[in-house]
Structure 1
Amino acid sequence: MNWEEYIQMWDNSSIQLVDIRQIVISSGGKQQYHLPVSGFIYIVQGQGSLWLDDDIHIFKRFYLLHAGKGSRIRFEAGQDEVTYYYILYRGSMSPKASKEIQKNYLMNNPFQLPYAYQPLAPVNLYRHVDSMYEEWNRRQIFERFHVKIFFYQFVYTLVQQLKLQGVTSKEKDMVEEIIQYIHEHFNESISLESLAEQWNYSIQYLSKQFKLRTGRSPIEYVIQARMAKAKELMIRTDATAQEIASSVGYSDVFYFTRLFKKQVGMTPGQYKKKMKESAGDSDSPWEGFVSSMGKHSSTCYVIDDNHYQYKTEGDRQMYKGTRSKMVLTLMLCFTLMLAACTNGNSSQNNTQGSAGGNSKQSAESTQNMPSNEAKEDTSMRKVSTVMGEVSVPTHPKRVVVDWDLGPVLAVGVTPVGASSTQMNFAKFLKPYLPDTVQDIGLEGSISLEKVLDLSPDIIITWNTAAYESYSKIAPTVVFETSKYSTIQEEITAMGDILGRQEEAKKWNEDFEKRTEAARNKIRNVIPEDATISIVDYITVDKFLMVIGNAGERGGRATYDILGLNPTPKVKSEIIDKKEDRIEVSWETVNDYVGDYVIVLKVEGKEPPKLPVTWTSLDAVKNHHVIEIEMEKYFAADSFSSLLQAEDIADKITKMAASAK
């Protein structure tokens, strides 16, 4: 922009002031509206995010923005209270202006020109704005006339600074570019590691800067963007839960449903029903979250329009005050310096007994340890892993695990932190999990900051891609369960990693006894040659999911621990091919369902209307159907699988008893 031409157009225009106000937004607050006329927005206090149509601005104190009539404005305050002024005006070109000026006006209407910048001399502009505000609110004709003088002085000072600073258009910084990227690629795989690699910054620096500027971590922002889009699809379309989950980046509809419920406070079905019952509610949650970043046209913007889309538990959490980032950085540096010798001075012994009934014995053995060993043991040893040899503490006390929670509990260790996915979807493990275990985030979006805050002396992960990031915080072991052919081998390996060899041995002995007891319970209940299948029609649409002996949903418990027989099709097409599960059409269901069938159910979710190909099955007609709960059977770890097997044996026994 040629600022001399710009001020020349102002000089040949007629200006009418419409309104001048001072607005305060509380910490974490939101506000959005359309500009009814052209206007200046001058932020004098606080920091946060501001959307102007398709552009996002990360602001801090003394940030000035100009926008034309009809522009969509959205504020999100950060950790501190935000104070800003808006000055609304109408401008029109004088018909007496020269043809050249009128031509420039048509090509570059100064009253519609969007721009934003941080002034070099902000206090001078503030004096003009504050004077305008004071005079305007006296509501006297002379004062209102006087305001116009201040307004022209404000514009003159503003253009002087714009010219001096060489402002042409606003350049996005790293955080703004990442936010733009998230809104354009929300339905793709986005991780903290991929963002750090793309912008060529360390994970710690990128995460720190993003959270400092927005009040949320990048992954929290991704989740909220996805949930906002999912809400819009639920309100505006008849898309199924599976279709919505896929469209916002989640292949597993059950995982999406659980995440949605955690963020919004209700299931997708409950949310959709509630929105349909809300008369006249046509707001778009997606646009409420991102303004027009998603290239949609807004139908309505209302100041403080933050009803259903913002009043959720997840959203409230995102805007809480964050801890000092300087402490976080120093902690990371300190952790890296001590990686070779670990954090051996843990304040407490976070262990408990294994599931075989040895918790009391384990606690007593800890109490009877020599006092010098109980207080501190900083010795190290090497363990062989899929990533090579790793030095780990001889007796780790502060364990963080992002997936294989069961084996850790089985050897008598209570972690200080675990994935909420495992804690929420491995319900059989709940009795062994005290409230002291901290949530480190959902699987696929683990918070490195939360892990860092826990000061672990060892991290157990399944994820080789996360190994490098984790290993910067503490010694890290990739626990690859596919290396072990039996559950006993798996538990033995975890015992070696955590220095709990004796506990692992006792658990394995108990496992053999409990397995034999469960098998004996059903031995005389169902025929020895009877076949059994596991199916899921509750978390999928329009087809049937058939489960093998690997993965979640009780397959390991049914086929490996209880030793029940799969149908020939399940064996040849799933188990022999080492597949977790396959999807089959309802027309072919008879080929996969055996004499007995285990069916998944989800609390609060009604099953679909079942076709005749299902209701005509012998297993269904003979009432050989066993229902199991998804929240208890989603996990497939060794400990959960044992508990699942005992539960299935009990259900089969009760089914047989009720049939007599």
Structure 2
Amino acid sequence: MHAVFQEMFLLLLAAVHTSDESQEEGAIQAVKRSIAYIDQAFAEPLDYAELAKNCRLSPRHYSRLFRKLTGISPMNYIIHSRVSEAKKLLTSSSESEQQVAVKSGFSDPFHFSRTFKRHVGISPRLYVNLHSEQSRIAVYQYLGELLALGMKPIGAPKLLLSGKYVRHLVDGITETGSTVVTPDMERLKRLQPDAIFTFDGYHYDQYCQIAPTLNVQWSQPAFNRFKLVASLLGKERQADEWIQRYADHVQNARLHLKKSFSAEKTVSFWYFREFPNQFDVYFEREMLYDDLELNPPPAIERARREQLQLPFKQSKDVAEMPLYAGDYMLVVVDSKARELFDQVRQGDIWRNLPAVHAGRVTLLTTDWLYVDPISRLGQLKELSRLITS
């Protein structure tokens, strides 16, 4: 009798489990139908509680399954659908901002503008300007990013225009200052740009008086910046295609390096400026340490592993050169620092570095400090030849 009871109990548990699974699967299918309905009716008034009720689920259960299927909440999904529709209408029709707001499901233009800016990062009007084929954009960073996307800005500072790897692409671009932080405001005003790109808030308030200004933070991986700029310009597909082509070049460069470059060898990247007895050591050099997976010297590797807020470079005393020297050394020397660098080369510290003894030091120009997509690709193509030779 005990054995029969156990068998009956197990059958009952199995039946309950099967019933629960069946109910859960039914709930999932109901939420999937709800998502399909939202995709068609996002411009209509949609009530979250009513959507859950139509699925015969509690709002909490509905939200949980919705997140499981889409990764976001029902309300964020609705907003995302409405904003996506608004972006299409803004760039493919001649309708007013108010008409776009209504057709996208927003209650009024003010709500539309505020929601659009919160989710896209710019106002609807600026979004239209940036997506126009005749858009006039001035940049105080991100020149290489725009050029990689097939867009030519109307103005940029001399520092960016003179970069070796973009120089052949900048004909017709007006010089609007000497560096990325020293703008020529009068010349910029005369250009009458539709929009201005800056970084880390530099001169943001002044630029805003001339044209709508986009501030893209610099403290993020270079390709993240690239993709963000592309998203603001509606060029996400072009950015993805460019990054994929770059990845193909990375694979080729890795194969080339493996033929004559030992996997355990380390590579350091330094910069000598016009400061006596100092040099900059780079802790973060994405093309070297991330793309090509080359090894930094142990001191740099240790710092990269242990410090969460590691700066991309730090100034060091020349006495510390042995600590940060790799088996191969890539050394950028500023044109203003050549005499100071020659003094360093005459010293015993430099002469006793293993890479110097082995003839594995490559001197580079400041063109190697540029980190835009086009410069990064140019450096990648040169690097394997420089190291293996």
TM-score, normalised via structure 2 length: 0.62
Change in CA separation of 1:539 and 1:645 when aligned onto 2, cut-off 3 Å = farther
Which of 550, 564, 575 matches 2:294?
Answer: 564
How many Å apart are 1:384 and its aligned residue? 5.3
- Which residue in 2 is equivalent to 1:390? 123
User: What's the counterpart of residue 321 of structure 2?
Assistant: 589
The 2-side partners of 1:650 and 1:379 are apart by: 55
2:177 matches 1:441: yes
Shift of 1:623: 0.8
C-alpha change, 1:539 and 1:523, in structure 2 (3 Å) is farther
Helix, strand or coil for the counterpart of 2:203? helix
Aligned AA (2:206)? S
| 2:3 equivalent in structure 1 | none
Summarize deviations over 1:220-246 as a string: whole Å, max 9, x none. xxxxxxxxxxxxxxxxxxxxxxxxxxx
Cα deviation 1:550-599 (Å, max 9, x = unaligned): xxxxx333223322111121233468442132222333321110111111
Contact kept in structure 2, 1:462 and 1:478, CA below 8 Å: yes
Match of residue 243 from structure 2: 508
Separation in structure 2 between the aligned mates of residue 377 and residue 427 of structure 1, nearest angstrom: 41
Query: How far apart are residue 404 of structure 1 and its match?
Result: 1.6
Letter in 2 for 1:409: L
Percent identity over the alignment?
A: 22
Task: Pick one of 353, 356, 362 that aligns with 1:620.
Answer: 356
- Please tell me whether residue 476 in structure 1 is matched to residue 213 in structure 2: yes
Judged with a 3 Å threshold, the aligned counterparts in structure 2 of structure 1 residues 384 and 613 are, in CA distance, closer, same or farther, namely: farther
Give the secondary-structure state (helix, strand or coil) at the position aligned to 1:523: helix
Superposed displacement of residue 430, structure 1? 0.7
Query: Would the aligned equivalents of 2:140 and 2:181 in 1 still touch at CA under 8 Å?
Result: no
Checking the alignment, whether the CA contact within 8 Å between 1:418 and 1:437 is kept in structure 2 is yes
Please say if 1:417 is aligned against 2:155.
Answer: yes
Structure 2 residue aligned with 1:545:
280
Q: Closer, same or farther in 2 for the Cα pair 1:403/1:385, shift >3 Å? A: farther
Q: Distance in 2 between matches of 1:495 and 1:636?
A: 16
Write the distance in 1 (CA, Å) between the matches of 2:213 and 2:331. 38
Shift of 1:400: 0.6
| Alignment partner of 1:578 is 2:310 | yes
1:252-308 Cα distance to aligned partner (Å, 9 max, x none): xxxxxxxxxxxxxxxxxxxxxxxxxxxxxxxxxxxxxxxxxxxxxxxxxxxxxxxxx
Residue of structure 2 equivalent to 1:608: 342
In the alignment, is the contact (CA less than 8 A) between 1:405 and 1:422 conserved in 2?
A: yes
User: CA distance change for structure 1 residues 615 and 465 in 2, over 3 Å: closer, same or farther?
Assistant: closer
Q: Which residue of 2 aligns with 1:531?
A: 266
Distance 1:534 1:497, change over 3 A: same
Q: Is the 8 A contact 2:278 2:315 kept in 1?
A: yes
Using the TM superposition, give the Cα deviation of residue 535 of structure 1 relative to its aligned residue in structure 2, in angstroms: 1.8
Q: Secondary structure at the match of 2:281?
A: strand
Matched, 1:427 2:131: no
Change in 2 beyond 3 A, CA 1:540/1:571: farther
Return closer, same or farther for 1:377/1:637 CA change in 2, 3 Å cut-off.
Answer: farther
CA distance in 1, matches of 2:95, 2:211: 13
2: CA distance, partners of 1:567 / 1:377:
58
Following the alignment from structure 1 to structure 2, what is the Cα–Cα distance between the partners of residues 378 and 448? 34
Q: Which residue of 2 aligns with 1:342?
A: none
Query: Displacement, 1:414?
Result: 0.7
Q: What is residue 225 of structure 1 aligned with on the other side?
A: none
Q: Specify whether residues 463 and 486 from structure 1 end up closer, same or farther in structure 2 by C-alpha distance, changes over 3 A only.
A: closer
Aligned-partner Cα distance in 1 for 2:281–2:348: 18
TM-score, with structure 1 as normaliser: 0.38
Alpha-carbon distance change, 452 to 501 in structure 1, aligned in 2, over 3 angstroms: same
Among 365, 375, 379, the residue aligned to 1:629:
365
> Would you say the 8 A contact 1:411–1:491 is kept in 2?
no
The alpha carbon displacement at 1:536 in A equals 2.6
Q: Distance in 1 between matches of 2:119 and 2:213?
A: 11
Q: C-alpha distance in 2, partners of 1:399/1:478?
A: 13
Mapping of residues 190-589 of structure 1, within 5 Å: 389-391=122-124, 392=126, 393=129, 394-395=131-132, 397-424=135-162, 426-434=163-171, 436-442=172-178, 443-483=180-220, 485=221, 487=223, 489-537=224-272, 539-549=274-284, 555-573=285-303, 576=307, 577-589=309-321
Q: Which structure dedicates a bigger proportion of its chain to helix?
A: 2
How far apart, CA to CA, are the structure 2 residues paired with 1:476 and 1:535?
A: 34
Q: Is the 8 A contact 1:538 1:608 kept in 2?
A: no
1:567 and 1:592 in contact (8 A); partners too: yes
Relative to structure 1, the CA distance from residue 377 to residue 438 in structure 2 (aligned partners, 3 Å threshold; closer, same or farther) is: farther
Whether the aligned pair in 1 keeps the contact of 2:157 and 2:177 (CA below 8 Å) is: yes
SS of the aligned residue for 1:534 comes to: strand
Distance in 1, matches of 2:139 and 2:263, equals: 39
Relative distance call for 1:475 and 1:573 in structure 2 (3 A) is same
Q: C-alpha distance in 2, partners of 1:646/1:379?
A: 48
SS in 2 for 1:608: helix
Contact 1:556 1:641 in 2 (8 A): no
3-state SS, counterpart of residue 428 of structure 1: coil
Contact 1:400 / 1:459 at 8 angstroms: preserved in 2? yes
Distance 1:480 1:455 in 2: 24
Q: What letter is aligned with 2:177?
A: G
> Structure 1: any 5+ residue segments left out of the alignment?
1-372, 550-554, 656-660
Q: In structure 2, do the counterparts of structure 1 residues 520 and 417 end up closer, same or farther at CA, with 3 Å as the change threshold?
A: same
Q: Relative to 1, partners in 2 of residues 1:465 and 1:587: Cα closer, same or farther, differing over 3 Å? A: closer
* Kept after mapping to 2: 8 A contact 1:537/1:608: no
1:580 and 1:384, CA in 2 relative to 1: closer, same or farther beyond 3 A?
A: farther
The CA distance in 1 between the partners of 2:334 and 2:95, in whole Å, is 46
Deviation track 1:117-158 (CA, whole Å, cap 9, x = no partner) reads: xxxxxxxxxxxxxxxxxxxxxxxxxxxxxxxxxxxxxxxxxx
SS of residue paired to 1:651: helix
Equivalent pairs, count: 271
Shift of 1:473: 2.1
Q: Cα gap change, 1:523/1:540 in structure 2, threshold over 3 Å: closer, same or farther?
A: farther
Shift of the 386–530 alpha-carbon distance from structure 1 to 2, 3 Å rule, reads farther
Q: Which ranges of structure 2 fall in alignment gaps of 5 or more residues?
A: 1-90, 101-112
Quick check: 2:327–2:360 contact (8 Å CA) kept in 1?
Answer: yes
8 Å contact 1:385–1:478 — kept in the other structure? no
Counterpart-to-counterpart distance in 2, 1:590 and 1:449: 48
Contact 2:270-2:331 at 8 Å conserved across structures: yes
- Taking a change above 3 Å as real, the CA distance of residues 528 and 580 of structure 1, as seen in their structure-2 partners, is same
How far apart are residue 423 of structure 1 and its match? 1.5
- Cα 1:472/1:624, change in 2 over 3 Å: same
